[in-house]
Amino acid sequence: MPLTNAQLSELLAAASADYTERRQRALRRASRHALMWPVEAAGLADEGAPLTTLNSVGPWVARIIEEILENPPEVPDPDETRQNFLTMSEARAILDDGPEWTQELRADLQMHSTYSDGSRSITEMAMGAMAKGYDYIAITDHSKGLKIAGGFDEVVLAEQMKEIDGVNAEIESQGHDFRILRSIEMNLDTTGAGDMEPDALAKLDVVVGSFHSKLRLKEAQTERALGAARNPDVQIMGHPHGRMYGVRMGVRGDWGRVLEEGAANGKAYEINSQPNRQDLSVPMLELARDVGVPLTIGTDAHSIEELDTVDLSLAAAVKAGIPKEQILNFKPVDEFLGWVATSRETAAAKLR
């Protein structure tokens, strides 16, 4: 069998140890970007097409890849921080066999704008999502606890809500059936608690909560994840595991127990599409499938172009055997908001 892009990624990373610093960087960069090559490099080589059309592949790296393909060495096992990641070429092959997954998707439930660390305005992100055929999106800029990513406070959140209302009114006036949901990606601490006032969060259409710190600890953090599952102000857990390709494993713990607790508390768990996150992973999604906890898909896009990474989440769901009915993005917006209301009622009942 020809080497896959995933295998080439490992071989390029291993080969980098044999070169000086500049060439090491080139090989490691190509290794990382191999995740997002849209086609298999081996297929291009078989066709006689130039490998330099692939991202981060210059003439020298192309020659290294050609040598690897001609005389394939043993592929090293990826370390734990590089396991269970799909490549874009693999994802698209999976979706080619199930085009309805792309055609029937109604929403993207995590993305960022210039209010925090995104590169495009709310209007521009909405236009990009409309071009993909979506019915609704959630704008989930960062909360005040994550200053490094431009996180904002309750005052700015109120201003953003007004802007979203205005953009929605403009979209409706143009005859489009599309809605921007008022949301936030709230930073969660080591206990699972958030950093925004509950009264401000209650005015949003939906709240995403995410971990952004202490994600490299070796010891289990089950109680931290359980605390987030019980947070009454959060409906969706964003990139729940907190893993990062080649960098960290994320929150370790008893995730079967965590997902069961999340289901009992009316939470949904995200399949994050960022290539270096892909979180939940396929093995974690298999756990979620068995528990039956609701799932969402969020590209976590910081630009219009990143909206296309949604294929990674869809393919992961297909590979894990997740039924579409378990993924909230396939619901019409009114049904999704009905789920949010039920989630909030479940959380309120737990507090009584």
Q: Which tokens belong to 120?
A: 């495009």
CB 251 within 8 A of CB 280: no
Half-sphere CA count of 19, side-chain side, radius 13 A: 16
What is the C-alpha to C-alpha distance for residues 327 and 325, in angstroms, rounded to an integer? 6
3-class state of residue 56 by DSSP: coil
For residue 248, give the DSSP letter. B
Give which of 271, 272, 276 is closest to 322, Cα–Cα: 271
3-state secondary structure 184-245: CEEEECCCCCCCCCHHHHCCCCCCEEEECCCCCCCCCCHHHHHHHHCCCCCCEEECCCCCEC
- Output the pTM of the full model: 0.96
Task: For residue 343, give the amino acid letter.
Answer: S
What is the per-residue pLDDT for 1?
Answer: 85
Residue 350 confidence class, pLDDT cut points 50, 70, 90: confident
CB atoms within 10 A of CB 254: 14
What is the C-alpha to C-alpha distance for residues 309 and 317, in angstroms, rounded to an integer? 14
What is the C-alpha to C-alpha distance for residues 22 and 27, in angstroms, rounded to an integer? 9
Query: Is a pLDDT exceeding 90 seen at residue 352?
Result: no
What is the C-alpha to C-alpha distance for residues 101 and 104, in angstroms, rounded to an integer? 6
What is the per-residue pLDDT for 241?
Answer: 95
pLDDT digits (tens, 9 = 90+) for 77-118: 999 999 999 999 999 999 999 999 999 999 999 999 999 999
Per-state percent for the chain, helix, strand, coil, to nearest 5: 50, 10, 40
What is the C-alpha to C-alpha distance for residues 215 and 217, in angstroms, rounded to an integer? 6
Give which of 101, 131, 128 is closest to 112, Cα–Cα: 128
pLDDT digits (tens, 9 = 90+) for 5-30: 999 999 999 999 999 999 999 999 99
